[in-house]
Structures are given as structure tokens and as C-alpha cells.
Amino acid sequence: MNKQKESTSKTKKSMTGHSFREDELRNALYDIDDILGRGLCNYVLLMETAKSLVEGEGQNLKGDGIYIGVLKKNITESNMNTFKFYLSESRDPMITDDGFDYTWGGVPVHVKIIKRNYKYFDYPDTRFYMAGEYKIPNPFSEYWKARYLIR
């Protein structure tokens, strides 16, 4: 019994950040997909959001939030105005030159504007999740090694 308690406490200590339930993450993903769709803006999933679809074969979102990347070449003044309009309603966004963050249903949503060119985003791969198609970096294994260096 002591070994089981030790194992459980080690697991809890090793976790970083707050993990959300799949349905909470799904709702936040649908919200940002709707906003970016209204702005006619292509995007890719990043970080744990993309990894959960790669490893789980599109079955289950995991993580401490939703992570999205938008190439700078896909951002126009018009679609930024659309984003600001929909974000300002009730989401209390933090908008910077590097992207924007907000919370949907308690889940943090992070949208990063990718300013440099990376081969991972030239020809993104597609993963299906629920009723949607989502783009992920390609090749994913190389992106995953360099994920913290993306600017």
C-alpha cells in the first residue's frame, strides 16, 4: 500500500501545469477554430495540442491549454480586426505583436504568430479530430525537437 501511495505522489509531482479534461480542450479548440475561420486565417496546431493528435491518432486531446500557430504571411489587418472583434466580446484577450492569449471555459488558448520560415510549416500534415481536419507541423518529429525555438 505504501508503494502505491509513493507512486501516486511521484506522478503528481512530475506533472507540470494544469491538465484539462478532453471536453474542455475540445470546446476551446472549437472556439479558436471558429474565430480563425471567421478571419479566413490558416493555422497549425502546436505543442501538446498537436502531439496529442499525433500520438493519440486523433482520438483524445491532452494538455494544459490549446496551442495554435499562424504564419505571419497569413495575418492581414482585416483578419486581425476580425479576431479583435470576436475576442473582445467576453474573452478578455492579451494581444501582442507575437500573437494573442485568452481563456475559453477556463482553458488557456495561445495563438502564436510565427514570423520566421520553418520547413515544418511549408507542407503541414493533416490529422482528423472529431468532425474536423487540423494541420500539424511536418515532419512532426523534427518540429517536436525544435518546438521551443519557434519564433
User: For residue 91, what pLDDT is reported?
Assistant: 74
Domains of the chain: residue spans and CATH: 19-149 (3.30.460.40)
- pTM over cut 0.85: no
Cell of 60: 483524445
Contact 66, 29 (CB under 8 A): yes
Mean pLDDT over 16-22 rounds to 77
Does residue 4 have a pLDDT over 70? no
Distance of CA 119 to the CA centre of its chain: 19
pLDDT exceeds 80 at position 144 = yes
pLDDT in tens, 91-125: 788 888 898 999 998 899 999 999 999 999 999 99
What's the whole-number mean pLDDT along residues 51-70? 86
